[in-house]
Amino acid sequence: MKKLLFIFFCLLFFNQLTAQNLNQKTYCNPMDINYRYNFEQLNEQISYRSGADPVIVNHKNEYYLFVTISGGYWHSKNLINWEYITPSMWPMEDMCAPAAMSVRDTLYLFQSTFEQRPILFSTEPEKGKLQFYNRWLPRLPQYIGPWDPALFYDEDLDKWYMYWGSSNVYPLFGAELDKSRNLTYKSKYQGLIYLDPKNHGWERFGRDHRDTIRPFTEGAWMTKHGGKYFLQYGAPGTEYNVYANGTYIGDNPLGPFTYAPYNPISYKPGGFMTGAGHGNTFQDNYGNYWNTGTPWVAVNWAMERRIVMFPAGFDADNQMFANTRFGDFPQQLPTKKWDNKDDLFTGWMLLSYKKPCTASSVRDTLTAQKVTDENPRTFWVANTNKEGESLTIDLQNNYDVKALQVNFTDYKSDVYNSNEARVYTQFKFYASLDGKKWDLISDNTNEPHRDRPNAYVELPSSVKARYIKYENVHVPMRNLAVSDIRVFGNGSGKIPEMPKKFTVKRQSDTRNADISWEKPANVVGYNILWGIAPDKLYQTYQVWGDAPNALELRALTVGQKYYCVIEAFNENGVSGRSEVMGF
């Protein structure tokens, strides 16, 4: 009898481990989906997962995610668990930067193209059933598009529109569509948005806006709110940390549009996942707004990317914003309309930054220490990809561990989506207080096979641990490569003091400002928050604590006054904020 009870409790515990996602209440960027393998470097026989140019639409109170070159799309009922759907039909080629729109009971879908291509529709997208809405949308002049399209239906006017453009030469365009003629062009297309990097610092190209290459504008999206039309766009280029979303505002769907003085609206140049451009804005079932984007990974190719989503909204003055503060730390998924932009932050801090690591094996110079450096472009590679290869992180203190994230890298990969039986990831996590006695805290080997290149694991309950061990069971790649294992939770020690001697000075080139501060003790990192008013500090630049205590902010608009504060954080929490500085 005792033996049977022991087996019963073991099975119960195991089921709790494997079914933990059923009660998951948080998410962590990048999104935990089965990013599809991409072959844009096929000449080098390299395959790698990638996802870019996301569009999430709320259709009949469920969510659909469309991503560049993915062979299908994703469906979710809760924004956490995403089911991949292979459609019943597809256009002539896989979709790049698709447009999607939900109007009443119908979901519309259209691909980027310079040729004649159809608009598709579905009343049952959850079943993958797509049909032709029209056979051809007429071709536009060469290089005009419509590439990176966005579809928009204005319910108040009962009119249909399309916006598009992807170029460092041409602007974003727009045109009205004729519903009576199956959504073909009703009006002549017109240029709507032109980049102005001489006045808009964030529109300058390159890492931290330091390149003189003419910047790119792309990723149009339209949101109507408070009687205004917010025409959004991505700039200055996808392959850098400063890729962001901005907006122009108009009184009519085709303008004229005025540059928003608070741009960019979604900006994440620092931290683990950098870059937030080329996404869309949607509302969840509680009326909360979200903004999606495309951060860069750039291991196998400069355009290798992932997908993120940030809480967004409009303040009392109808100013649009997206909240990237702790944007790649665990966040709550709302169960109601949130009141404050920071309500969704769990308060679970990063416990693993630059903590010591040991591995079962190491290939060449691709060492274990790279998994805690918060850089997706560096990674550990084991000698084999076999079951049992492991990596252990010493958190150097006892913490309440609440969530984990393991991010895999496609290092010299040879995987093909056609071999579906091979494309999945399985792993286990263990915890220990002394590095000798280990407890299994997460095990996905009893789940249906899923590929999770950026797997996020919310533990059923917090676990007290100093050591965390990752153990490989199966990866589809011929090389077991992990860029980062991220451990989240809380310590019981002191939070850092507020940084002192915080100064901000605008340069003679007023697109730039020099920011400096005095380092307090025991800091993991800082958030520098700024905006166009003391109560509108919507932008965040995260800086790690072991970096210089200075930042050149190069994202400012000429002639616009700004306000700025700084806060520090560590494993135990977040400091108070400095006095607001105007500059």
Instruction: Show the tokens assigned to 340.
Output: 């404050």
Q: What is the pLDDT of residue 92?
A: 75
Q: What is the pLDDT of residue 43?
A: 59
Q: What is the pLDDT of residue 142?
A: 87
pLDDT band at residue 418 under the 50/70/90 scheme: low
Q: What is the pLDDT of residue 572?
A: 98
Tens digits of residue pLDDT in 310-335: 999 999 999 999 999 999 999 999 99
DSSP, res 548 = -
Indicate the range of 3-17, 178-192, 386-400 predicted with least confidence: 3-17
The answer to whether the beta carbons of residues 225 and 206 sit under 8 Å apart is no
Here the contacts of 515-520 (C-beta below 8 Å, separation 24 or greater) are 515/550, 515/551, 515/552, 515/553, 515/564, 515/566, 516/549, 516/550, 516/551, 517/549, 517/550, 517/566, 517/578, 518/549, 519/545, 519/549, 520/496, 520/568, 520/575
pLDDT band at residue 187 under the 50/70/90 scheme: confident
Tens digits of residue pLDDT in 42-57: 657 788 999 999 999 9
Q: What is the DSSP string of 181-198?
A: GTSEE-S--EEEE---TT
Q: What is the pLDDT of residue 419?
A: 66
Give me the residue label for tokens 């109808």. Answer: 318
Q: Round to the nearest angstrom and report the end-to-end CA distance of the chain.
A: 74
Residue 40 CA to residue 304 CA, distance in Å, equals 9
Average pLDDT of the residues in 405-418: 87
Taken as a whole, the chain contains a residue count of 583
Kindly tell me if the per-residue pLDDT of 122 is higher than 80: yes
Tens digits of residue pLDDT in 241-281: 999 999 999 999 999 999 999 999 999 999 999 999 999 99
Residue 583 CA to residue 561 CA, distance in Å, equals 6
Q: What angle do CA 194, 174, 165 make, to 5 degrees?
A: 55
Kindly tell me if the per-residue pLDDT of 111 is higher than 70: yes
Please give the domain boundaries of the chain with CATH numbers for all domains: 53-346 (2.115.10.20), 350-490 (2.60.120.260), 500-582 (2.60.40.10)
What are the percentages of helix, strand and coil residues in the chain, rounded to 5?
5, 40, 50
Average pLDDT of the residues in 15-21: 45
Q: Which SS3 state, helix, strand or coil, does residue 46 take?
A: coil
Mean pLDDT score across all residues of the chain: 94
The answer to whether the beta carbons of residues 507 and 554 sit under 8 Å apart is no
Q: What is the pLDDT of residue 16?
A: 43
DSSP, res 533 = S
Instruction: Tell me the C-alpha to C-alpha distance, in Å, between residue 391 and each of 371, 388, 473.
Output: 9, 10, 12
pLDDT band at residue 428 under the 50/70/90 scheme: very high
Backbone φ and ψ of 201, nearest 5°: -60, -35
Give me the residue label for tokens 């080098």. Answer: 44
Tens digits of residue pLDDT in 462-491: 999 999 999 999 999 999 999 999 999 999
In 3D space, the residue among 84, 128, 95 whose CA is nearest the CA of residue 424 turns out to be: 84
Q: C-alpha dihedral over 207, 212, 218, 219, to 10 degrees?
A: 20
- The secondary element (H helix, E strand) that includes residue 7 is helix 2-18
Beta-strand ranges (E) seen in 20-171 are 26-27, 36-38, 48-50, 55-59, 62-66, 73-76, 83-85, 99-103, 106-110, 120-124, 129-132, 150-154, 159-164
Residue 200 CA to residue 202 CA, distance in Å, equals 6
Residue 293 CA to residue 306 CA, distance in Å, equals 8
Please state the separation of Cα 198 from the chain's center in Å. 28
Q: What is the pLDDT of residue 478?
A: 92
Tens digits of residue pLDDT in 504-544: 999 999 999 999 999 999 999 999 999 999 999 999 999 99
